[in-house]
Amino acid sequence: MKKVLLASASKVFLKRNTNLLKGRGFQLISTMNGAEALKLHKEYLFDLVLADLKLEDMCGCTLLSLVREEEASRHVPVILICHKISGSIERVEQSGASAMLLKPIDPIQLIETIGSFLDMQIGRSKRVVLNVKVLVKKIDLEFYCLSYDISNTGILLETEYNLDLGVRIMCRFTLPGSCKIEAEGEVIRYMSTLEYKSLYGVKFINLPLPYLKSIEHYLAATANSCASTQNLAVTDLFA
């Protein structure tokens, strides 16, 4: 069972998200205090830390830096949460957080973000690997990104361009062995990898039904292919 630490100065926020994440099978401990969060982390060595920018005794960015100072937790994912306010967003972006989520938090977005770091399929939508070039249009700017994975609700992109949370973009790409997709999307999350690559989660907006069906067909085919490969591997072990 994966261990998650949830820290926030808001009792309402803690209660709501504690119930949500415990219902997904996590061992979850919550606190309102940054100092206590550090003490708990040293005791339990959590698999992931989810912290609000506002804690009782310190900023979430400070908690992140203190967690990263410890050798044993240098690579533990730390997700920071803040309101959609210019100063707060900039502080989180400069903190080196593994990901940033904006309030009010969408439950599906929260569990999918956590699942992406813990290699768990805990979201409602299926998500599979997709490595293709994606042409992105942002107002009058065009550039190429590399996709990491896709679901029937969105796509994860790597790019050197800075994309603000909440901005809308057009994505054009071709599914392997399938049709070309053109979809409007909204950037809803930012993440960074251990290799300092910038990843952006894009949520599809009003995806046309033919494109949705093509994506769902690709998801099913890819999932079945992975399952078949795993079954063959198990068979080989006992051959």
Q: Which domains does the chain have, with CATH numbers?
A: 3-118 (3.40.50.2300), 127-231 (2.40.10.220)
Q: Give per-residue pLDDT as tens, 178-224.
A: 789 999 999 988 887 666 678 999 989 888 878 888 998 898 888 77
Angle between helices 11-22 and 107-118 (to 10 degrees): 60
How confident is the model at residue 231, as a pLDDT? 47
pLDDT at position 198: 86
Output the six-digit token pair for 42. Answer: 């040293």
Residue 23, pLDDT > 90, answer no
Q: How far apart are CA 137 and CA 139, in angstroms?
A: 6
Can you give the pTM of this predicted structure? 0.62
Rounded CA-CA distance 18/4 in Å is 10
Does residue 233 surpass a pLDDT of 70?
Answer: no
Q: Is the N-terminal amide bond of 210 cis, ω within 30° of 0?
A: no
Identify which of 90, 88, 125 has the alpha carbon closest to the alpha carbon of residue 201.
125
Contact yes or no for 63/51 (Cβ under 8 A): yes
